[in-house]
Structure 1
Amino acid sequence: MKPALREQILTILAAIPEGRVTTYGRIAAMTDGATPRLVARALRELPEGHALPWFRVITASRRLAEHPGAPEQRQRLLAEGVPFDTRGRVTAEALWP
């Protein structure tokens, strides 16, 4: 991945407000050529101890992606007041932008 594209992704990630979420696809659409998979890759490659809100990124179906950090992701989102519906999806009102 080109460093400039990674920087765009991380800049967008840093801008997601507390209590809101966005999707891999929405982040990709805000860049100069990233795909949702590239966004996911950039998040997987974040260094240990970073302060970026990776947990505010969800799938297009408004669910948490299946990964080892999903339980922590859900806890962090709930702590920020992000609502989930009865089917386990984040409510549409929480989507940003």
Structure 2
Amino acid sequence: MSHRAAPDTGLARRVTDVVATIPPGRVLSYRDVAELAECRSPRVVGTVMARNPTGETLPWWRVVTVQGTLADHLQAEARERYREEGTPLREDDRHLVRVDMDRALWTPDSPGA
């Protein structure tokens, strides 16, 4: 059983606000979200998103690792969403979904944008 503390609601709100602004077909890495949300760690971003304490529906598939991947168990659903949104993809040597970070990375004008 995990005894990790739940992320504070202010941090959760900042993370979810950033994630909610990512446009369809574009992505940010967990590290990017952490920087924009003034969060101490990309892992905390993952925890906030997994627990989603704000209860909002988040476009979770738009937040990926810096290599453009998601966890294996999310691959099938993410692939469908990427196709719907026209997100640029690459297939890696294991035939997993990999976002083309050169083409899909979103750069907001400012942290609050």
Q: Describe the superposition over 1:36-65 as per-residue Cα deviations: whole angstroms up to 9, x where unpaired.
A: 101111111127x84321111111111123
**Alignment match of 1:90 (pick from 99, 109, 113):** 99
Q: Following TM superposition, by how much is the alpha carbon of 1:7 offset from its aligned partner in structure 2, in angstroms?
A: 0.5
**Alignment match of 2:63 (pick from 57, 66, 69):** 57
**Alignment match of 1:46 (pick from 52, 58, 63):** 52
d(CA) in 2 for partners of 1:14, 1:64: 18
d(CA) in 2 for partners of 1:35, 1:29: 8
Q: Could you tell me which amino acid in structure 1 is paired with residue 65 of structure 2?
A: T
**Alignment match of 2:36 (pick from 30, 48, 51):** 30
**Alignment match of 2:85 (pick from 61, 80, 85):** 80
- When normalised by structure 1's length, the TM-score is 0.85
Q: Could you tell me which amino acid in structure 2 is paired with residue 89 of structure 1?
A: R
d(CA) in 1 for partners of 2:74, 2:56: 15
Q: Tell me if the contact between 1:5 and 1:34 (Cα under 8 Å) persists in the aligned partners.
A: no
Q: Could you tell me which amino acid in structure 2 is paired with residue 77 of structure 1?
A: Y
Is 1:6 matched up with 2:16?
Answer: no
Q: Could you tell me which amino acid in structure 2 is paired with residue 80 of structure 1?
A: E
d(CA) in 2 for partners of 1:3, 1:46: 10
- Higher Cα Rg: structure 1 or 2? 2
Q: Following TM superposition, by how much is the alpha carbon of 1:69 offset from its aligned partner in structure 2, in angstroms?
A: 2.7
Query: What is the RMSD of the two structures over their aligned residues, measured on CA atoms?
Result: 1.8
d(CA) in 2 for partners of 1:13, 1:76: 15
